[in-house]
Amino acid sequence: MKRLLVFVVLLQIILSGTVKADEGMWLPALIEKLNIKQMKQMGLSINAEDIYSINHSSLKDAVVALDHGSCTAELISAEGLLLTNHHCGFDEIQQHSTVEHDYLRDGFWAKTKEEELSNPGKTASFLIRFEDVTSKILPMLNDTMSEEGRRAKVREISSRIEKEATADTPYEGCVQSLYNDNKYYLFVYETFRDIRLVGTPPQSMGKFGGDTDNWMWPRHTCDFSMFRIYCGKDGKPAAYSKDNVPYVPKHHLPISLKGYQKNDFAMVMGYPGSTNRYKTSYGINYTETVTNPVRIKVREEKLRIMKDFMNTSEHARLMYSAKYARSSNYYKYSIGQNKGLHDLNVIEKKKQLEDQFTQWVNATPERKAKYGEALPLIASEYQNVEDEKAMEYMMEAMVRGSEIFYYAYKTSPLNDVLKSEKDKERIHSAVDRVKEGLDDFFKDFDPQTDQKTAASLFRIYQENVAPQYQPTFFKVVKNKYGNDFEKYTKRLYAKSIFGSQQKLVNFLAKPSAKVLEKDPIFQTSIEIFKMLELIRDETAKTTAALSKGNRLFVGGLMEMEADKTFYPDANSSMRLTYGTVNGYVPRDAVWYDYFTTLRGYIEKEIPGDDEFDVPAKLKTLYQAKDFGRYADQDGKLHTCFTTNNDITGGNSGSPVINAKGELIGIAFDGNWEAMSGDLAFENELQKCINVDIRFVLWTIDKMAGAQNLIDEMTIAN
């Protein structure tokens, strides 16, 4: 009997490990037509109209794009309460933190609405409706048009469609191309601009595991933060005002305390940022040999310099914590993606599809005439990539490298006004625009760290980019400073009005075009962005042909596999993915279960460590087994779980919803073994890592004592 039981358990593990991930980021408006039958077979108990409707409230009305798609959030109360990831609120948490009130270290909880903190610039956008406008655009295009002419015509028609769709409304319209310019869709949004921070656990919970655990499973991270949408008294979007009121949504998600079982249905709704699943082998090779190595090389050095500064004091750590987190996330992602592309033999798989496509195209004269140039166009544009390589280094090492040069470049409009205008009012207005972000910029800016970053990244750029794409000041560094970028940048920062906030404030009190144009940092910034434009012009020469090749290739694929249901690449528009709760086999002889518990959190503890320190109160509650109503039926507090939903960047903070339309978790990461997923979905390995909603509620209730927030929610026991 024991042998039989062991065999059954092993069989379940093996079979569970081979449950395939469900590929596809589907447009919610089309699930009635494309997906609902399969979703019902997998266990969904609500209807398509309950998920997406323009006639009554539906799940789409509870899901918002934060900051126009950088993350996703969901409404969980009738008073505009939003739930998203801790890392999606990290910038705001850091901005509100001081050494005296360190919300990153200690967490923050508003016990009343009056205590909630405003966040200028943060937005939350609702999808109002969706419309296929392909028939309004494609008939106006023809094969005799140049690619630039084609794009111009699309922009012209799209602008007209957007204006007609939003006339006399507070809404925003956006026509986006999907399937590599083979189809076009209109998305209409309503955007709210008064978004206030309500609560966040300490970083030791919200970012538990830090960079070490990032993109990894098993996870125990309580990755969430809370905001609230405010609006005018008429319920419409409004700028921040103390008179604004909490937004009353059309729908908010009920929260399930019942948890989940293996193979339970799960769906994710959100705003995934960008995938390139239709990219060819040529494009994959470029990503693997150029894009990712450049990002890794530059960011590794930038992160080293930031970390050295952050280790000097608590104040320094606070200043650069958000910047470090932003840079490190896709640094590690690039390493993992290259490993995945290699391990999963993605290029060879792409080549096999391209060979099949070529055979299909060559089978008839009509296909050859229509699609014959697709792959040759793409291949030819990847033969010489020196300009594209220069652009990769330009963006990583120059534009996203040192902060001061982009900041200085933004004063170019002031310089133009000072040179051409005598009107004091216009000069005063231009000065005010520079002053607007001055305090925020210098609050988290260390000139010495930035100077070290500039010196090191300039050197990397010089060593890796062809001479014709190097800014002219590189010659000055070579001839006058013996190619010593450290010496050169030290002089720049010492002599420049941008070297400190006080110097810049003094200049703005009495601005002068002569002073600005002679400023060494301003001069250097102008040279950097002139070179950026030159490189952009060079890459534009190949972009048009590449765009045409990709459009023809995807159009041909859709014709070649006419019986297949194609989904569009992610582009920050709302998508739905569906799948099941389950674990996986990452490599030989290893099985990963589908959930983790608070025990694993405790087991990972490294006292005093930046990444694995455990709050004392959490340990006390764990030892007392004080899990309240949030424990699973097994008596344990589940922390995170995995599903096979198809997600990517932008899905961070997305709700994980059960078959009844109830919230069971928050998506926050993908798994290391399938980091190539943005380019090629891996059915056997792709996983979506989620924080269990019960762990979230336990943290709010037991750790924070924020009963006021629990009372707002609709909880299904």
Residues that are catalytic: 87, 223, 652
Any bridge partners for residue 176, and if so which? 185
Crossing angle between the packed helical segments 374-381 and 346-361, to the nearest 10 degrees: 140
Collapsed DSSP state (helix, strand, coil) of residue 537 = helix
Handedness of CA 529, 530, 531, 534 (dihedral sign): positive
Going by C-alpha positions, the residue among 65, 90, 85, 105 that lies closest to residue 224 is 85
| Cα atoms in the 13 Å half-sphere on the side-chain side of 376 | 7
Tokens found for residue 711: 């009372």
The DSSP secondary structure of 312-346, one letter per residue, reads: T-HHHHHHHHHHHHHHHHHHHHHHHHHHHHHHTTH
Collapsed DSSP state (helix, strand, coil) of residue 633 = coil
Q: Are 130 and 187 in contact (CB under 8 A)?
A: yes
Q: Are 687 and 21 in contact (CB under 8 A)?
A: yes
Instruction: For residue 667, count other CB atoms closer than 10 A to its CB.
Output: 26
**Spatial distance between the Cα atoms of 680 and 344, rounded to a whole number of angstroms:** 9
**Spatial distance between the Cα atoms of 621 and 601, rounded to a whole number of angstroms:** 13
Using only C-alpha atoms, the chain has a radius of gyration, in whole angstroms, of 27
| Cα atoms in the 13 Å half-sphere on the side-chain side of 435 | 13
Tokens found for residue 528: 């950097």
3-state secondary structure 189-257: EEEECEEEEEEECCHHHHCCCHHHHCCCCCCCCCCCEEEEEEECCCCCCCCCCCCCEECCCCCCCCEEC
CB-based burial label for 262 (10 Å; 0-12, 13-18, 19+): middle
Handedness of CA 143, 144, 149, 153 (dihedral sign): negative
CB-based burial label for 544 (10 Å; 0-12, 13-18, 19+): middle
Collapsed DSSP state (helix, strand, coil) of residue 705 = coil
Any bridge partners for residue 174, and if so which? 187
Tokens found for residue 683: 């059915």
Phi-psi region of 69 (alpha: psi -120 to 50; beta: other; left: phi over 0): left
Going by C-alpha positions, the residue among 404, 565, 400, 596 that lies closest to residue 500 is 404
**Spatial distance between the Cα atoms of 125 and 651, rounded to a whole number of angstroms:** 14
Distance set, CA 254 to CA 61, 229, 415, 518, 693 (Å): 13, 18, 54, 61, 11
Distance set, CA 326 to CA 71, 87, 306, 335 (Å): 13, 9, 12, 15
